[in-house]
Chain A
Amino acid sequence: MPAQLPPHLRRLEAEAIFIMREVVANFENPVMLYSIGKDSSVMLHLAMKAFHPAKPPFPLLHVDTTWKFREMIAFRDETVKRLGLDIKVHTNQEGKAAGINPFDHGSSNYTQVMKTEALKQALDAGGYDAAFGGARRDEEKSRAKERVFSFRSAHHGWDPKNQRPELWSLYNTRIRTGETIRVFPLSNWTELDIWQYIAAENIPIVPLYFAAERPVVARNGQLIMADDQRMRLLPGEKVEMRRVRFRTLGCYPLTAAVESDADTLDAIVEEMFLATTSERQGRLIDHDESGSMEKKKREGYF
């Protein structure tokens, strides 16, 4: 029962459920971005709650860059099967054909083609008028200013200086044909809230979040996991087994592991309290330059 949730998680849960129902009641063709990570797992769990006893009345969408951890893909397939949900998987075929990869083309170009462009293609193809994303305001400075219902032009652009004022829980859902809204039900959650909720609700997550012996390469002070044979080693680098886990998941060549012994949810929550770095530290694409997230978001990144 929700009664066992601490009060702050109950309030966050109810807020997210309200937001999801508001989308379903106002939009014709919503979709939920499912990135397989812990935030997506929480978002999906909340969707199961919001529409019970009905199933969530929208499909999931996964933008597959083809460079995700193998365990993520296995977890994705297992999850949709377990919950009986509809999922669309989209890959930017032009990018794939051109062999765009994170090693040769740089994280910035690669992200633009295989994530941002791929996402726009998938949203256009599906004709979706609203798309749920699992982004949280505490993740990054420009996220802190994003609305819960975030308006996008017909070209998926975000104009941070011209956002609709958002008062109370009165979300303005009005759009014209071609325009869309990105909706962030987890806006007010923090990383700690996510972990506490996963623990309290016993939500399944990708095993990569738990510490285990994994093959990693030390590069620029980061630990990159060699998830498959496509991993390229620079001169002098070697793969070694270390006890690591991931605080955030994405494309394996761009996602750093942390050394950790936390192999249970309780241990992860405890580690959270002692952490001295933010989770995005492990996301290589955020460090290109200061303000790079705002730039990517203006271009349509989630």
Chain B
Amino acid sequence: MAEIVALRPHDDAARPVPVETDKGILRFLTCGSVDDGKSTLIGRLLLDTKKLFDDQLASLEKDSRRFGTVGDDMDLALLVDGLEAEREQGITIDVAYRFFATEKRKFIVADTPGHEQYTRNMATGASTADLAVLLIDARKGILNQTRRHATIAAMLGIRHVVLAINKIDLVDYDRVVYDRIVAAFDADASHYGFASRVAIPISARHGDNVGERSESMPWYRGPTLLEHLEGIDLSVDVTASRPFRFPVQWVNRPDLTFRGYAGTIAAGTIRAGDDIVVARTGQQATVSRIVTYDGDVRSASADEAVTLTLDREIDLSRGDILATPAARPDVSDQFAAHLIWMADEAMLPGRPYLMKIGTRTVGAAITELKHKVEIETLKPLAAKTLALNDIGFANLSLAEPIAFDSYEDNRTTGAFILIDRFTNATVAAGMIRFGLSRATNIHRQALDVDKAARAGAKGQKPAVLWFTGLSGSGKSTIANLVEKKLHLMGRHTYLLDGDNVRHGLNRDLGFTDADRVENIRRVAETAKLFVDAGLIVLVSFISPFRAERQLARDLVAEGEFVEIFVDTPLEVAEARDVKGLYKKAREGKIKNFTGIDSPYEAPLTPDIRLDTSIGDAEAQADRIVDYLIERGYSAA
């Protein structure tokens, strides 16, 4: 599984000197449970790369005597636990960034807290990291917190993980313990999808297999931690080969002769002469110059900060994304995303937040929390809200469409933060999974005067009474009687009748299956609006298909849909033939007639089934009214 390039043994005696093979920067984070030794490990890395100066060591000795937790030894954790409160409490309460270098690489390490309540800080450290060092206490093995951190690391797009099985000295350098922990991790590994996983038995306190190879574990033949960090090949992750993305950061207009678009390339490569497109508007142009302080360049790639000029004037400002016309980002005002909630105040669906994505800031609301993610197992859990450190999967709706990629495709154009409009606090981090088409999945924002308030004023509970049955079954007659009775009782009602609606709203629809579905969809949506207005809505439609009746039921809340099956056998209805339609259908003058040459799918479990062979229409209507009073839809 692990991809390890050839390694040069770490030359312990020499101080690091820069050489030609500069591999750039590796950003990594250390994570793991409380007391697994994260800060000690970083202290050890600093010590082993000779990054510590004499005055720092002297101050460490002083601090060790005062705060130390390891007897007479130097407490390496004190090097990195910077804030006074942390030193007093002996825990790390915030992300600390540390720096060291070897002859091959410069390292930036984020030391993140192990306490569960500080998950947000771990996510912060992970957001800029290429690799995660997951510390595991050899005595404890894989804990829930280990899984949690592996999940967060994977969710934030970290592709490489190191299992640093620490305190191996405390289990007598036992290979069995190591093997067991690695096997336990690998059992879950498919969840995470890391590109590489390397497991190294270490003792951060004594230095085994950190910077120096351990004498105590001849059974371990892999690299030391430092060798691995120096050697790991990140070229598989390079964004330079992906489609060009350039979030415009600032428009540079020093005078009338120059108009440049400054920004940092988020992915891909651009050359002077290349065509680009403004993702949001579809406007195209050609790149004239790539301007830098050091002179124009012919091409520029991911992570470079440049200024582009174009061959023509187009509508383009901060927040727009320039892209290659051949592979454009999505443009939508709705998408589904993972959210990590970072504020003490819980997430509220429908509440307006500000979303910052790339260089753009736009109004946003969480329209629907699909589920919360149980982080140890990645199982979805039903939830109405997210609390601090919760992770959820949600639909978001924006004030206007934006251009974006999925986070998986691009960590810059697929990541966002949510900002509270009133406190300006950063309340959440988000990773876009996919865009949603317009007009689906949109949920209206909660209003002060709501459905319950409107209905309460009328002494009723809003509902759809959905009458279904064959043509001529008596639906409209019964529905009409029910409405009259409710009206006399002072209830506020509205009747949507199939024939009447087809003269207006649905006059453009025929009787094909597709048109019947659309017919029902429109009626169901209309019924929903009336329900929202607090009304009792009577819908009298043949509505022959179960799926569409289910769609109508799903549009309103539970308990707001009463399916009434007017159960009149075909032969009875056909014998009545009030409108002479069966006759025409039999003669072939009407196509797709329900019951004749188009199917009727009878309800399997209607809320009310009316057997029209027993009692007249008046009696059937009474039965429905009684039902409504009984169930509290109407006062008596």
Judge whether A165 and B411 touch: CB under 8 Å: no
For A161, the chain B residues whose CB sits under 8 A away are 83, 85, 93-94
A54 to B258, CA, bound (A): 9
Known A188-B99, A281-B55: A2·B252 in contact at CB below 8 Å: no
Judge whether B264 and A6 touch: CB under 8 Å: no
Minimum CB–CB distance from B372 to chain A (whole Å) comes to 19
For B293, the chain A residues whose CB sits under 8 A away are 48-49, 52
Chain B contributes a number of interface residues (CB within 8 A of A) equal to 76
Judge whether A168 and B127 touch: CB under 8 Å: yes
For A8, the chain B residues whose CB sits under 8 A away are 22, 24-25, 105-106
Q: Is B53 an interface residue (CB 8 A)?
A: yes
Judge whether B54 and A290 touch: CB under 8 Å: no
Across the interface, B411 reaches (CB within 8 A) one of A54, A138, A168, namely A168
Judge whether A277 and B354 touch: CB under 8 Å: no
Known A144-B82, A274-B15: A17·B305 in contact at CB below 8 Å: yes
Judge whether B262 and A21 touch: CB under 8 Å: yes
For A1, the chain B residues whose CB sits under 8 A away are 294-295, 297
For B128, the chain A residues whose CB sits under 8 A away are 167-169
Across the interface, A137 reaches (CB within 8 A) one of B83, B99, B263, B318, namely B99
Q: Is A278 an interface residue (CB 8 A)?
A: yes
Which of A73-81, A86-94, A118-126, A189-197 has 4 or more CB atoms under 8 Å from chain B?
Answer: A189-197
A141 to B84, CA, bound (A): 10
For B93, the chain A residues whose CB sits under 8 A away are 161
For B62, the chain A residues whose CB sits under 8 A away are 290
Chain A contributes a number of interface residues (CB within 8 A of B) equal to 63
Which of B30-38, B193-201, B412-420, B530-538 has 4 or more CB atoms under 8 Å from chain A?
Answer: B412-420
- A-contact bits for B409-453, CB 8 A (1 contact / 0 none): 001100111010000111001000000000000000000000000
Minimum CB–CB distance from B288 to chain A (whole Å) comes to 14
Q: Is B59 an interface residue (CB 8 A)?
A: yes
Judge whether A168 and B15 touch: CB under 8 Å: no
For B108, the chain A residues whose CB sits under 8 A away are 188
Q: Is A229 an interface residue (CB 8 A)?
A: no
- B-contact bits for A238-282, CB 8 A (1 contact / 0 none): 000000000000000000000000000000000001111110110
Minimum CB–CB distance from A103 to chain B (whole Å) comes to 24
Judge whether A160 and B94 touch: CB under 8 Å: yes
Which of B118-126, B472-480, B496-504, B607-615 has 4 or more CB atoms under 8 Å from chain A?
Answer: B118-126
Judge whether A21 and B249 touch: CB under 8 Å: yes
A141 to B98, CA, bound (A): 9
Using a CB-CB cutoff of 8 Å, which residues 273-293 of chain B contact chain A?
291-293
Q: Is B511 an interface residue (CB 8 A)?
A: no
Q: Is B303 an interface residue (CB 8 A)?
A: yes
Q: Is B362 an interface residue (CB 8 A)?
A: no
A280 to B53, CA, bound (A): 11
For B249, the chain A residues whose CB sits under 8 A away are 18, 21-22, 25
Q: Is B307 an interface residue (CB 8 A)?
A: yes
Minimum CB–CB distance from A169 to chain B (whole Å) comes to 7
Q: Is A285 an interface residue (CB 8 A)?
A: no
Judge whether A170 and B417 touch: CB under 8 Å: yes
Judge whether A172 and B80 touch: CB under 8 Å: no
- A-contact bits for B339-359, CB 8 A (1 contact / 0 none): 000100000000000101101
Judge whether B22 and A7 touch: CB under 8 Å: yes
Judge whether B252 and A174 touch: CB under 8 Å: no
For A53, the chain B residues whose CB sits under 8 A away are 252, 254, 258, 260, 291
Judge whether A190 and B305 touch: CB under 8 Å: no
Q: Is B267 an interface residue (CB 8 A)?
A: no
For A206, the chain B residues whose CB sits under 8 A away are none
Q: Is B17 an interface residue (CB 8 A)?
A: yes
Minimum CB–CB distance from A250 to chain B (whole Å) comes to 17
Name the residue of chain A whose CB is nearest to the CB of B14: A273
For B98, the chain A residues whose CB sits under 8 A away are 137-138, 144
- B-contact bits for A174-197, CB 8 A (1 contact / 0 none): 111000000000011010110010
For A169, the chain B residues whose CB sits under 8 A away are 128, 264, 412
Q: Is A163 an interface residue (CB 8 A)?
A: yes
- B-contact bits for A143-178, CB 8 A (1 contact / 0 none): 111000000000000001101111111101011100
Using a CB-CB cutoff of 8 Å, which residues 71-118 of chain B contact chain A?
79-85, 87, 93-99, 101, 105-106, 108
A223 to B559, CA, bound (A): 84
Of all A-B residue pairs in the complex, the 7 with the closest CB atoms, nearest first, are A141-B82, A7-B24, A54-B254, A174-B424, A49-B293, A17-B305, A167-B127
B interface, CB within 8 angstroms of A? 15-18, 22-25, 53-56, 59, 62-63, 79-85, 87, 93-99, 101, 105-106, 108, 120-121, 123-124, 127-128, 249-250, 252-254, 258, 260, 262-264, 291-295, 297, 303-305, 307, 318, 342, 354, 356-357, 359, 411-412, 415-417, 419, 424-426, 429
A-B contact pairs, 30 of them (CB 8 A): A1-B297, A2-B294, A6-B24, A21-B262, A49-B293, A50-B305, A51-B252, A53-B291, A141-B82, A141-B83, A141-B96, A142-B83, A143-B82, A144-B82, A144-B97, A145-B94, A145-B97, A165-B426, A166-B426, A168-B415, A170-B356, A172-B356, A172-B419, A172-B426, A175-B424, A187-B97, A277-B55, A280-B55, A290-B59, A290-B63
12 further contact pairs, Cβ within 8 A, besides A142-B82, A190-B99, A290-B59: A6-B18, A8-B25, A11-B303, A18-B305, A21-B263, A25-B249, A49-B292, A165-B124, A167-B124, A168-B411, A170-B417, A190-B101
